[in-house]
Structure 1
Amino acid sequence: MSKKTVKILHTNDLHSQLDRWPAVVATVNRLKSHATKAGDDVLLFDIGDHADRVHPITEGLDGKGNVELLNRLSYDAITIGNNEGMTFSKRQLNSLYDKADFDVLVANLKHDNGEMPTWAKNHRVFTTEQGVTVGVFGVTVAYKLFYHALGWSIEDPFESIERQVEALRGKVDVLICLSHLGLHDDERMAKQFPEIDLILGSHTHHLLLDGEKINRTWIHQCGRSGSHLGEVSITVDAESREITNLNVHTIEVENEYDSDTVSLLEDMKSRADRVLSEVVTTIPEEWELSWEKETPLTKLLVKGLKEWCEADVAMINAGILLEGLPQGPITKGALHRICPHPINPAKVNISGERLLEFIREAHKKEKIYKKVKGFGFRGKILGMMIYEGIEVDESANGPLQPEHICILGKKLDRDTLYNVATVDMFTFGYLYPSISTLNEKTYYMPEFLRDVLAWSLQNRK
């Protein structure tokens, strides 16, 4: 019985940890070389969030440096994550893959008119040198409010998955989904669509050392930040065209570095530095920062946030800024350094009752010193909550009451609705349940908080 083997190599969730990329390149090249010597065909995929604007190279080059790195390693196809899809403006995303030498597979992202963007495809069928046909499609997590604010239409990924399975299953030997949905949805997909042979996952940063098998479908996800990558060996019977063996391996990326990639990253840094050296404004004195009290810098930002969002009041945590600012010219790079998060301004319409709960939670010591990972936050601790239009009696004993809080000079009223400007990270997840469960939220995109800071500095009085 004649058999044909295809090696699938895959990466996910690098998040622009570019110091790890030379080691990833060396490991991929080594695995490719071994597969080629064994007579196997190789396909290489990335499952999204390769680009993260926390890194100055990604910020300065609008993500195109990340595409250059993917090209250099000869990826066959990728899908996008929320960092590519939601932290770049529509204009930036529409040009991000102009020079890509690989296919971008994302079946559930469309323009508002329902048309696919020119840079993306629903799926791709690869035919290896041994004649094995591999159907591959991609889907990304559907944060509808955010994509809508950016001018995109994002479809429920499971509706897209159903169409892609129907289009591909009878036409290919192997069916693969590149999924930036997270492990929970990958498990749901495996149960709902047993026709899929392999789900290469991402987004939730799970490290599945031995993969996970549900019925006949394998799921694999390799952590984040270039610590591991995946290798899947698929053997197909030449006559029946059926998969006879599928083995999942997780490869730890060791400290072996590709010197050409190191040199390329040095060149990219120089290019990015030139962009980020643009002067935004000049300040006459040094502005220090504290995460435990209000400073002129945090006060300027929260005041600017209120004006930007046209809100009644504003509240923001001091830990959103990582450093103060020196006297003299302030560059784009300096603002990126002190506020690197891909976090957007947001406004919520909230009752006084919920606002009281929000403020109470923010004043807890464990919240002020809480170390946060995810939600776009790239800092260390949340820090003290800083207000504009809200006064809190810090000397109050016990839980804060309405009489301890003034909103625009008047005692907080539990039944009044207030428009509160804050940051998007507070409106989802577990940090502040009092506002994360609200239905009425407005997101201001594509600008980040550092854009509000730049605007506030330029328009300070």
Structure 2
Amino acid sequence: MTLGKLRILHTNDLHSQLEQWPSVVAALKQHRKEAEDAGEDVLLMDVGDHCDRVHPMTEALLGKGNVQLLNDMNYDAVTIGNNEGITFSKKDLNALYDQADFSIILCNLRHENGLRPNWSVPYKIYTLKTGVKIGVTGVTAPFRFFYEPLGWTLTDPFVELKHVINEVRPQVDVMVCLSHLGLGEDEKMAMEFTGIDIILGSHTHHVLPDGKYVNQTWINQSGRSGEYIGEVSLVFQQGSKSNIETKVESVKSLKVDSTQKDSGTEQKLNELFKAGNELLEAPVTRLEYPLKVDWYERSESPALLSEALREWCKADISMVNSGVILDNLDAGNVTLGDLHRICPHPINPSTVKISGDRLLETIRQSQQSDMVNYALKGFGFRGKVLGYMIFDGMEILDHFRLISEKNVIINGVPLIRSKDYKLATLDMFTFGHLYPSISSLTEKEYYMPEFLRDVLAWKLKGLKNK
């Protein structure tokens, strides 16, 4: 005997592509209405990175506008992604969900004293009108190097999941995990835990048209930027031994029709944009002359940022790629909005302890045309190309075909291969594949919660005072 049905609608990785949000809302409302008209229960969830401070509204309102949008759509639950977790200060993250009408479900984030933040719960049990119980937990990517300087402790998500599943699984008919770990980790989760029925994924921006079935667990993930929404349909039947049997009827990622827009959401966004823009009109300084940027040769704005980064981090030298500055700054008043416009990336300053030998390798790699023209996607970078690398605190004598230690002058003397230097740079160069000579280093420090534009603002204010 069929007891009823549940439709789980889910979103992930919007990254504040808010111009697409009215179409996402229209799609969600359509599928929610279809389900409710058919007598089905509906749960609506977001799997993190709804916020992204690349958008002026998210930047100005510190994510609270995004929360209002989720409230308006009557979300039941969310978990956080790294864009919520590590691009806001601890104070701002603690305040982000003050007005949330939904649950923030997250089991692997704690304060330094081991307590959970009061705005999150490790799991929640939803009881449907049929009496069926749905357990929901959530995990986020454990980027400890970034969370810890902010005052958070990130625990192993799989260790936490084991505790939650042992506690919750006996109480529920279906177990769902909101996972901001990425598809590869979700597949490992499915192999390791038999107590999870459905993993709603995110972070790696995969589109799974019909989900993925791994070790009797369904995984779904629905792209990025609101191009898709996810839908999981379940049917519940009365078993022969008074137990409830669950069948997953379908798992889908559904393409969002960008021509269909929810008018009420458009109006709300206009109000939020206006409120954000007013805050971003706050003055930073006044320039007596314009600051230009050229992505393919040395220019003023990225050179100033490189100098500021070295000073801010109290480093020996610094390196900044020109492509991190997106536009010129005109002479006249400079506002917070101007700095966000030219440097919107959620990228933090960092330092590494690097040998002269590795530094020389880094310099040589940075001069290669394929690096200058590299169209980077990800790592927080929101520009077009990496661009020309600008170093501060050292001089490169470019009269030679092959750069050697004799051609690199630091503090008036040639680079010493055996000497260690403190190098200030962008956090994105300290992990991943871009500069192995840097990312493979062990002594790294991240300067949180400031972004590059905050360091640039600090430098510009100092220029005015001078």
| TM-score class, shorter | over 0.9
Matched, 1:270 2:257: no
Q: Deviations over 1:170-222 (max 9, x none)?
A: 11010000000000100000000021000000000011111110121000000
Identity of aligned residues (%): 50
CA distance in 1, matches of 2:79, 2:399: 52
User: Any residues of structure 2 matched to 1:62-211 within 5 Å, and which?
Assistant: 62-211=62-211
Which residue number in structure 1 is paired with residue 61 of structure 2? 61
CA distance in 2, matches of 1:20, 1:311: 42
Cα offset, 1:244, TM superposition: 2.8
Q: Give the conservation status (yes or no) of the 8 Å contact 1:280–1:330.
A: yes
Give the 3-state SS of the residue equivalent to 2:86 in structure 1.
helix
CA distance in 2, matches of 1:249, 1:307: 51
Q: Give the conservation status (yes or no) of the 8 Å contact 1:173–1:236.
A: no
Give the 3-state SS of the residue equivalent to 1:343 in structure 2.
coil
Which residue number in structure 2 is paired with residue 448 of structure 1? 451
Cα offset, 1:295, TM superposition: 2.0
Q: Deviations over 1:74-120 (max 9, x none)?
A: 00000000000000000000000000000001100000000010100
Cα offset, 1:289, TM superposition: 1.2
Cα offset, 1:297, TM superposition: 2.0
Q: Give the conservation status (yes or no) of the 8 Å contact 1:179–1:200.
A: yes
Where does structure 1 lack aligned partners over 5 or more consecutive residues?
A: none
Equivalent residue letter for 2:133: T
CA distance in 1, matches of 2:8, 2:70: 16
Matched, 1:422 2:394: no
Equivalent residue letter for 2:25: V
Which residue number in structure 2 is paired with residue 347 of structure 1? 351
Cα offset, 1:401, TM superposition: 1.6
Q: Deviations over 1:209-236 (max 9, x none)?
A: 1111012100000000000011101112
Cα offset, 1:405, TM superposition: 1.3
Give the 3-state SS of the residue equivalent to 2:248 in structure 1.
strand
Equivalent residue letter for 2:228: H
Q: Give the conservation status (yes or no) of the 8 Å contact 2:3–2:130.
A: no
Cα offset, 1:54, TM superposition: 0.1
RMSD: 0.9
Q: Summarize the Cα distance change of 1:175–1:246 in structure 2 as closer, same or farther, 3 Å threshold.
A: farther
Where does structure 2 lack aligned partners over 5 or more consecutive residues?
A: none
CA distance in 2, matches of 1:177, 1:409: 57
User: Any residues of structure 2 matched to 1:302-317 within 5 Å, and which?
Assistant: 302-317=306-321
TM-score, length of structure 2 as denominator length: 0.98
Q: Give the conservation status (yes or no) of the 8 Å contact 2:232–2:248.
A: no
Which residue number in structure 1 is paired with residue 300 of structure 2? 296
Cα offset, 1:237, TM superposition: 1.6
Matched, 1:408 2:397: no
Q: Give the conservation status (yes or no) of the 8 Å contact 2:347–2:451.
A: yes
Q: Deviations over 1:432-458 (max 9, x none)?
A: 010101110000000000000000101
Equivalent residue letter for 1:71: N
CA distance in 2, matches of 1:134, 1:340: 39
Which residue number in structure 2 is paired with residue 240 of structure 1? 243
User: Any residues of structure 2 matched to 1:363-442 within 5 Å, and which?
Assistant: 363-397=367-401, 399-442=402-445
CA distance in 2, matches of 1:139, 1:390: 43
CA distance in 2, matches of 1:100, 1:53: 19
Which residue number in structure 1 is paired with residue 225 of structure 2? 225
CA distance in 2, matches of 1:344, 1:156: 24
Equivalent residue letter for 2:158: F
Which residue number in structure 1 is paired with residue 334 of structure 2? 330
Q: Give the conservation status (yes or no) of the 8 Å contact 1:15–1:50.
A: yes
CA distance in 2, matches of 1:121, 1:242: 27
Cα offset, 1:394, TM superposition: 2.0
Which residue number in structure 1 is paired with residue 52 of structure 2? 52
CA distance in 2, matches of 1:405, 1:285: 31
Cα offset, 1:72, TM superposition: 0.3
Cα offset, 1:402, TM superposition: 1.2
CA distance in 2, matches of 1:412, 1:242: 70
Q: Give the conservation status (yes or no) of the 8 Å contact 2:20–2:226.
A: yes
Cα offset, 1:301, TM superposition: 1.1
Q: Deviations over 1:369-418 (max 9, x none)?
A: 11000000000111111111121122321x32211211222111111000
CA distance in 1, matches of 2:360, 2:234: 57
Q: Give the conservation status (yes or no) of the 8 Å contact 2:348–2:426.
A: yes
Q: Deviations over 1:42-70 (max 9, x none)?
A: 00000000000000010011100000000
TM-score, length of structure 1 as denominator length: 0.99
Q: Deviations over 1:326-367 (max 9, x none)?
A: 110000000000000000000000011111111111110010
Which residue number in structure 1 is paired with residue 11 of structure 2? 11
Q: Give the conservation status (yes or no) of the 8 Å contact 1:14–1:51.
A: yes
CA distance in 1, matches of 2:248, 2:337: 51
Equivalent residue letter for 2:449: P
Cα offset, 1:246, TM superposition: 3.8
CA distance in 2, matches of 1:213, 1:416: 53
Equivalent residue letter for 1:298: P
